[in-house]
Amino acid sequence: MERNISKRVRYANDLMDLKYRQSDSNNVLMPARERAGVRFKAAGIPLAKDEYWKFSSPERFTSPELIHKKKVNSEEGSIDRNTEDIHIVFLNGALDEKLSNFNRSANELEVVSMSDECLADHPWVGKLYAELEAASHKQINRPLAAFNSACATGGVFVRVKQSTKKRLVIHYRGTKPMSESIIHNLVKLEANTSLILVEKGEGACRSSRVTEIDLGSNAVLNHIRFFGNNVSSDLLTQIFVRQAFKSCYNQFSLVLNCEFIRNESFISLEGEEAKVSLSGAALATDTNLQDDTIFIAHRKRDCESRQVFKKVLKNEATGVFQGKIFVASEAQKTDGYQISKGLLLGEKSKFLTKPELEIYADDVVCSHGSTCGAIDEETLFYLMSRGVSRTEAIGMLIMAFLDEAVQEIKIDELADDIRGIIWEKAEA
């Protein structure tokens, strides 16, 4: 045990010394970044034997050198670019203002970047930065999130002052071999506002991406994420959400053939009648690994949460789902639902799942379930007997399997776009 602790701390110090350069940090963020560095060094790096890392090795993200020296695919295969939307583009880990079109002085949105010298004029940034990440450690130690807070080299900070029909689209593009990005974003919705946030791409051969989201009373955020298009990259995303009274957070993630991706979400329902929906659809092939790790904390009464995750795993691909619902003693009338399913299309494909409930209230409705299996040969034979080719029949069954997750998307136009992307990949 002592040797493991020593290893954690030693490696953490080495990694900090390698990545952290104080002179690069904005003075407004410096106090929060220094505290994050202390948290990371105290916790040490995660190890493969740790409970929340036993299915997906953390070495992909803790090794000083990139394990896979491949070039990330810079192409984007997701939702078509709408010129009326607000676009923020990160190129090789850095904000590219020439490719972006955001307006810092817009009435609806306040947008600043980590590199802006005017951060002092936006006091909410210094207050919120790393606040939700730090609070999450009370439940589960998250050293790599603390590392991101301390060492992030880029990020965009968005405050929604008025509801807008424009979508905020953040693009992550990568063109360089041996590239690495550490990005930290903030999204703050004031009371009674709404926003559609779309994220697209990976952006580097190895990426760490933390997003902190603060939802005011009655705020609504629809969050769509698109990853992969046969890309060779290692990606760790960590989302921290704090929800106030009657706020609503809806997240959907589509993952297509990413080499190694781990998506973590930590949701804290801190206001009564708050609602959260997390869903995802994944298509993985070859030796891809796709991991969804979720922690939802119900802290107030009359809150609802849903988790719906579906994974199609071909060849030797591995799918992972770790989902936990925590219900505090004061969170009476909690409604928590969780389901995860894997469709295995290869003899060596695997679906590893660990659903959890930790409940301290006595007036709740909580459920979880998980299944995995192969395509039903009888159904496949039936479709083929009606003149459908085998390839098309398998595509139809994949589409039907994943659609339960797609139905969780609250915006019909976006749901239809996602269905089109899935159908194109399912037929291949």
Calpha distance 341→281 (Å, rounded): 10
Mean per-residue pLDDT, 72-96: 70
Q: What is the pLDDT of residue 75?
A: 46
Confidence of residue 178 (pLDDT cuts 50, 70, 90): confident
C-alpha dist (Å) from residue 232 to 75, 220, 293: 12, 34, 21
Calpha distance 327→331 (Å, rounded): 6
Range of the domain at 189: 2-375
Q: Is residue 27 part of a domain?
A: yes
Mean per-residue pLDDT, 379-387: 89
Q: Is residue 392 part of a domain?
A: no
Nearest Cα neighbor of 72 from 180, 207, 231, 182 is 231
Q: Is residue 278 part of a domain?
A: yes
Record the tokens describing residue 114, joined without a space. 């980590």
Q: Is residue 317 part of a domain?
A: yes
Q: Is residue 252 part of a domain?
A: yes
Instruction: Write down the mean pLDDT value for the chain.
Output: 88
| Per-position DSSP letters for 207-261, written without gaps between them | EEEEEEEEE-TT-EEEEEEEE-SSEEEEEEEEEEEEE-TT-EEEEEEEEESEEEE
Chain Cα centroid distance, residue 203: 14
Which residue type does 93 have? G
Confidence of residue 84 (pLDDT cuts 50, 70, 90): confident
Our count of domains for the chain comes to: 1
- Which pTM does this prediction carry? 0.93
Q: What is the pLDDT of residue 355?
A: 92
- DSSP, collapsed to helix, strand or coil, labels residue 261 as strand
Q: Is residue 403 part of a domain?
A: no
pLDDT at residue 203 tops 80: yes
Calpha distance 221→385 (Å, rounded): 45
Record the tokens describing residue 405, joined without a space. 């997750």
C-alpha dist (Å) from residue 379 to 148, 313, 386, 391, 423: 47, 19, 11, 13, 18
Q: Is residue 44 part of a domain?
A: yes
**Exposure pattern of 307-341 as b/e (b: 16+ CB <10 Å)?**
bbbbbbbbebbbbbbbbbbbbbeebbbbebbbbbb
Calpha distance 13→101 (Å, rounded): 39
Q: What is the pLDDT of residue 42?
A: 87
pLDDT tens digit string along 65-74? 765 555 555 5
What secondary structure letter does DSSP report for 253?
Answer: E
Do 276 and 241 form a contact (C-beta atoms < 8 A)?
Answer: yes
Residues 6+ apart with CB under 8 A from 303: 269, 272, 273, 274, 275, 276, 331, 333, 334, 335
Give Dmax (Cα) for the chain.
68
Confidence of residue 21 (pLDDT cuts 50, 70, 90): low
Which residue type does 273 have? E
Q: Is residue 413 part of a domain?
A: no
Nearest Cα neighbor of 163 from 112, 127, 215, 210 is 215
Mean per-residue pLDDT, 381-397: 90
